Structure formats: structure tokens, C-alpha cells
Structure 1
Amino acid sequence: MIEVFTKISEATKLLLEKGFTPLHASSALSMVGSALKVDRVYIFENQPYPIRGRMMADARYAWTVPGLTSPLESSTLQSVCLRELAPQWSDLLSQGHIVTSLTKDAPPRMKVLLDDHKTRSMMMAPLRPAKEWWGFVGFDDCQQNRVWSAEEVILLKSLASGLSAALRHRQMRSSLSQTRSQLREMMTLSVNR
């Protein structure tokens, strides 16, 4: 488990230093997924505004072992309404809790989606870079009906915390960049008067 904690630290450092870009996020998820020996690691982002009154989430970043479909390549994993697929899971994640399940024990509609993606067991944790629930990170095991250990749950919480910090850092960088641009525009306008 020390190796996995090390990879989570390296992944978080990469995202903080290099930025939360698709390339760096994929590298970070690859480090963690390989160390934990899972088949898929993914990050879903909640859409900021409900569509037709439904809160949706999109697969934004992912790493997958060769031979499996990436969530980024699957149309069924874009605009996912978690509340409709697994209402209790949606409630748990929005309240800051971890969700773990074997596919065979998942709510019926979620079970169909997991089966379609060859998932045998999964675990998800919420991402909260600020007060609002931003999205979630998850692990899939497509080889076995994996019952996640207490240590693996702690590892996922650690990863979710690191990812949330990196997302918060990205948001702060973006806000600072916007402020700089506005100040430059104001200075340009005042000089040109």
C-alpha cells in the first residue's frame, strides 16, 4: 500500500505543478491505476446546470488498461444522470461518502451500464475542490468481483483529496488569470484616454 500512497502523492504533485490538463490527468490516473492494479480509473465532472431539470455528469479524464473501452470513448458515459441510475449512490456522493459495489449488487439501471462496460466491481469518491460537489473519481475492476478493502477505501479518499486540491489550484489559477486580463484591459483603456 505504501507504493500506492507514493503514486497518489506523485500524481497529485504532477497535477499541482503541471496543471489539470487531459494529458497530465491521464498520466496521474495511470500511475495510480497501475499501482492499485485496477482496470479503469476515471473522473466525472458534474455539469454546472441541470439539463431538463436533471443533474448530469460527464467523463472528463480517464485511464484504462489496454483492451477495455475508455469512459472518454463511450457515448453512454457522457451526460450520465447518476440520480436516475443509482439515486442512493448519488445521495451518498453528494454528502461526501464513498460508494463501493459489486456490479451484481448495483441498482438495476446502473447494473446494465456497468455490465455494458465489463465492470465487475467499482468504487467511487466525491470530488469537492470547494463547498460544492464538483464530481467524482472512481476505480473499476473488470477481472474479478473485488470487495474493496478498508486500505483501498483510504487510498481512494486520499486520491480524491489530492485531486480536489489540484482542481482547486486550477480554479485559483484561472481566476488569477482572468483578474490579470481585466487589469491589463483597464490599464490599456486608461492609457488610451
Structure 2
Amino acid sequence: MIELFTKISDATKLLLEKGFTPLHASSALSMVGSALKVDRVYIYENQPYPIRGRMLTDARYAWTVPGLTSPLESSTLQSLCLRELAPQWSELLSQGHLVNCLAKDAPPRMKFLLDDHKTRSLMLAPLRPSKEWWGFVGFDDCQQGRVWSAEEVILLKSLASGLSSALRHRQMRSSLSQTRSQLREMMALSVNR
């Protein structure tokens, strides 16, 4: 258990220090996925604006064991409308709760998608770098219908908290960079007058 917490801490530290880039996110997810012995770890981001009245979510970062399809490589795992596939899951995640489910017990449309990608069980946690629900992180077990232990639930919550902090840090860096650029432009304009 201590080793798993260490991996989560290392993954969060990597993203805070190096930035939330695809390369670093993949490395961080690999650390956690390998330590937890899962087959997929992924991060989905909600689209900021509904498209045709539908709130969609897209896979942004993922780690997958060899031989399985990554959410980044599958068109059926992109632009998901979670409210249509699993309305209760969408509601739980938007309220800050975890989803912990065996694929056989998933809502019918989601079960079809999970079966298609060989997922036997999954656990999802919301990401909230600010007050708004940004997206979610998830673990898939494709070998067995895993009943997630209390310790594993705590680990996912810890990972979600660390990822949310890293995303918040990325957003603050971006905001600071934009402010700097605007100040430079304003200074350049005032010098040229």
C-alpha cells in the first residue's frame, strides 16, 4: 500500500514539476497503472461547451498494457456523451463521487462499449481543478471482474486529487503566461507612441 501511495506521489510530482504534457501524463499514468496492476489508466476532459446540446468528453491522456486498445486510438472512446451512455455515472461524477462498477452491471449502452473494449471492471473519479467538473480519471481491469478494495478506492481518490492539483497548476501557468504577453504588448504599444 505504501508503495502505491509513493507511486501516486511520484506521478503527481512529475506533473507538477514537468508540466501536464502528453509525455509526462503518460509516464505518470504508467507508474500508477503498473503499481496497481490494472490494464488501462486514462484521463478524460469534458468539452467546455455542449455540442448540439450534448455535453461530450474526450480521452486526453492514457496508458494501456500492450495488446489492448488505448482510448486515444479508438474512435468509439472519443467524444463520449456520458449522460447518454450512463446518466447515473455522469450525475455521480459531476457531484464529486466515484463510480465503481463491474462491466456486467453497467448501464446497457455503456456495457456494450465496455464489452467491446474487453473491460471487465472499472473505477472512475472526477477531476476538479476548480469549482467546475473538468473530467475524470479511470482505471480498467480487463482480466477479471475486480471488486475494488477500500484501499484502491482511497488510492484513486488520492490520484484524482493530485491530478486536479497538477491541472490547476497548469491552468495558473497558462493564465500567468497570457498576462505576461498582454503586459508586453501594452508596454510595446506605449513605447511606440
What's the TM-score bracket when you normalise by the shorter of the two chains?
over 0.9
Secondary structure of 1:123's match?
Answer: strand
Shift, 1:22, TM fit? 0.3
What is the Cα deviation at residue 174 of structure 1?
A: 0.1
Separation (CA, whole Å) in 1 of partners of 2:85 and 2:147: 21
Deviation at 1:93, TM superposition (A): 0.3
Query: Which residue is 2:154 aligned to?
Result: 154
Separation in 2, partners of 1:157, 1:134: 15
Per the TM alignment, residue 100 of structure 1 is displaced from its structure 2 partner at its CA by: 0.6
Q: Please give the alpha-carbon distance, in whole angstroms, between the structure 2 residues aligned to 1:49 and 1:77.
A: 19
Deviations 1:102-128 (A, max 9, x none): 000000000000001100000000000
Q: In 1, Cα distance between the equivalents of 2:92 and 2:47?
A: 18
CA deviations 1:24-44 (Å, max 9, x no partner) are 000000000000000000000
C-alpha displacement of 1:72: 0.2
Aligned residues: 193
2:100 is matched with which residue? 100
Q: Deviations over 1:142-178 (max 9, x none)?
A: 0001000010000000000000000000000000000
> What CA deviation, in whole Å up to 9, does each residue of 1:34-73 have, x standing for no partner?
0000000000000000011110000000000000000000
Secondary structure of residue in 1 paired with 2:55: coil
Instruction: Return the alpha-carbon distance in structure 1 between the equivalents of residues 36 and 102 of structure 2.
Output: 17
Offset, 1:78: 1.0
Structure 1 segment 10-29 matched on structure 2, within 5 A: 10-29=10-29
Q: Where does the alignment leave 5 or more consecutive residues of structure 1 unmatched?
A: none
TM-score (norm 1): 1.00
Which whole-Å CA distance do the structure 2 matches of 1:182 and 1:156 have between them?
39
TM-superposed deviation, 1:77: 1.1
Q: C-alpha separation between the residues in 1 aligned to 2:120 and 2:165?
A: 30
Task: Please tell me the root mean square deviation across aligned C-alpha atoms, in Å.
Answer: 0.3
Match in the other structure for 2:49: 49
Q: Identity over aligned residues, as a percent?
A: 91
